[in-house]
Structure formats: structure tokens, C-alpha cells
Structure 1
């Protein structure tokens, strides 16, 4: 069993790692949001959306909020499936 100082050091180190991950998530969400916005502007309004199109960032945030829930597919797999064959 670690002592208090070691546990505090672990917490501080991991907190810094979480800060870096949060920055990465914010940047990824912004990039996805911008791309989705452009797609909405460029595609005909009559084009139906398929599963996970234009809301993948929200699915990813939900998965991170509930890490104990293991999904069948990764975000990359969901994105590939959602946009397969779309130009």
C-alpha cells in the first residue's frame, strides 16, 4: 500500500493527464462540429441522415462520461460506417 504522499503524487499526475485529454477532446469536438456544420450546409436538405451522422461527437462524449459501458464499436468504426459511400 502506498503512503499518502505517493497517492497525492499519483492523483496530481493523473489529473494533469486528464487536463491534456480534455484539451484533445475539446479540439476534436470542435473539428467534428465544424465538419458536420459544413456538411449540413453542403448537402441537400432532402438527404436523410444515417445513424451517427452529424452527432458522433455527442456519442463520444456519452461514452467518455460512462466509461464502464463498453460499446461494440469504436468512434472511428462508427464514423466509417456512418459516412461509408457518402460523397
Structure 2
């Protein structure tokens, strides 16, 4: 069994790890938000959104905050399911 001081050291170290994860999450979310906004501008207005489109970052946040969701599909898999593979743009 760890001492109180050892447990406090663990808490401090893990808190620093969580800070780094939060920074990475915010950066990834900002990039996803920008890409999704650009897709909305580029795609035809008549094309409807599909499941998980424009909400993947919130699904990821939910998965981090709720350990009971362990075992659900990975966010990367949901992204492929929602958006499909990248499509080559047609240039005229």
C-alpha cells in the first residue's frame, strides 16, 4: 500500500497528464470544428448530415468522461462511418 505522500505524488503526476490530454483535445477539436465548417460551406445545401457528422468531438468528450462507455467504437472508426473515406475533389 502506498503512503499518503506517494499517493499525492501520483495525483500530481496524473493531473499533469490530464492537463496535457485536455490541451491535445482542445487542439484536435478546433481542427475538427474548422474542417467540419469548411465541409458545410463546400457541400451542397441539399445534402443532409449523417449520424455523428459534426458531433464527433462531443462523442469523444463523452467517452472520456464516462468510463462505463468503454468498449464502444473508436472515434476514428465513427469518423470513417460518418464521413466515409476522403473523396478526391473534382477540378474543373
Tell me the TM-score normalized by structure 2: 0.87
Q: State the 4+ residue runs in structure 1 displaced beyond 2 angstroms.
A: none
Q: Aligned-residue CA RMSD in angstroms?
A: 1.3
Tell me the TM-score normalized by structure 1: 0.91
CA-to-partner distance for each residue in 1:38-77, whole Å, 9 max, x for gaps?
0011111100111111111111111112122224310000
Give unpaired runs (5+ residues) of structure 1.
none
Query: Which deviates more, 15-24 or 56-65?
Result: 56-65
CA-to-partner distance for each residue in 1:6-33, whole Å, 9 max, x for gaps?
0110000000000000000000110100
Give unpaired runs (5+ residues) of structure 2.
88-92
Aligned residues: 87
Match of 1:46 in 2: 46
